[in-house]
Amino acid sequence: MKKETYSLYSLIEIRFADPISALGLSSQNVVIGTMMGRICSFSIKNKKSTLINELSQENISGISFDEKNNVFYASVGDDEILKFNIDSLNSNIIPRIKNYKSEYAHSKKCENMFSLISKNSLLLIELAPQEEGNITINKYDAFAQITYFENEEKDNFILPITNYSIPLDYYDGFFVWVEFLSDKKRRLCVKNVNNNNDKVYKLSLDEKFGHISHCKIIPGFKLFLVRDLNKCEIREIDDKFTLVNSFTSIGDEVIAIDFYDKNNVNNEYNHYNVDEKNKNNINKKESILKVNNEKNLPITLSINDNRRESNNIMNENTSFKLQLVLCILDIDGNVSFFENNKITKKFNLYDIKEINKEQKQKQFFSMGYAYYIKFNKYFICITTDHGCYVIKINYK
């Protein structure tokens, strides 16, 4: 059995009062985006950092890699999506996908628009403005838009939600959010936004459930969520949100989560092991995933995809195996993996000997920013008050 050790590979530093607001990791690069709109790419091979965008009109709200085409996308608030070629990061020409037809249209919606990036598209949803002193909860039709990176097409639609709703995640066409029905009643909701005729899965939450601080849609038609600070759950996306597994994180408060498929070498861009010819045609899809939940066995999925272009058809009974690892970062600096129904602490950031003692004394998460973690087979990237630590996984 291989034993792992962990060491500091590099620190991608940030400027004071300009925290990291987006993080992306591929097999070759780490990319960070900041609240002031800076974008920096770090080459894993030669440890070289390249500042490729000094300032943007809005914060960098998401990073998405397309390794097959050797590019990555950065969403600038709700305004636009920037496209960068990894081999020519210093190019003066940056392709841009605008989310609005004009700056006037942007300015009208910008204040209440929330953006979420996925592998090959960006979801915008217009949240209701909050009136000071008015806590009346009503249902309303929210404007939403999906922008597809491959062909720059846009789909506009209406999503019925309440005026007190919190977006949580957008992944592979599925959107998850929490909506308040009263001061005590809430619902966890999931919908395939690529198909308006699809039902909305809803789970009523009582007060004892606690606040949902983190939630990710994970392969196998499931949710991985954190509630009540450090209580972690894996739930099916079905009518009852069936609880598959639950465990308590090692630290007091979970501040970031991520997942990785060990069987997928190029996890960032080829999550479902679809060949490139078919991958480019999966822009709008309705996935029916059947899961084998036998304890301690890899999850086996079957996919049936409906796609916009029918001239390239993937076999309807494509089967493959997933070996998911869930990663949890807590406020005490612990990094833990949940794998094979067991949570294991891998290391504590304060115990990494190569990290500067002064940075440890100032603490990593004292500023109260949003923090992020990304990982693959060889590296773990953790954003902190000092920048992004790139931690190397050493196998013995």
User: Does residue 258 have a pLDDT over 50?
Assistant: yes
Per the CB < 8 A criterion, the answer to whether 337 and 353 are in contact is no
Task: State the pTM of this model.
Answer: 0.85
In tens, the pLDDT along 141-168 reads: 999 999 999 999 999 999 999 999 999 9
* Predicted confidence band of residue 309 (pLDDT cuts 50, 70, 90): very low
| Total number of domains in the chain | 1
- Mean pLDDT to the nearest integer, 298-315: 31
User: Does residue 274 have a pLDDT over 80?
Assistant: no
Integer Cα distance of 83 and 73 in angstroms: 5
Integer Cα distance of 16 and 393 in angstroms: 29
In tens, the pLDDT along 330-376 reads: 999 999 999 999 999 999 999 999 999 999 999 999 999 999 999 99
Q: Which domain holds residue 177?
A: 4-395
CATH number at residue 191: 2.130.10.10
Read off the tokens for 202: 């809803």
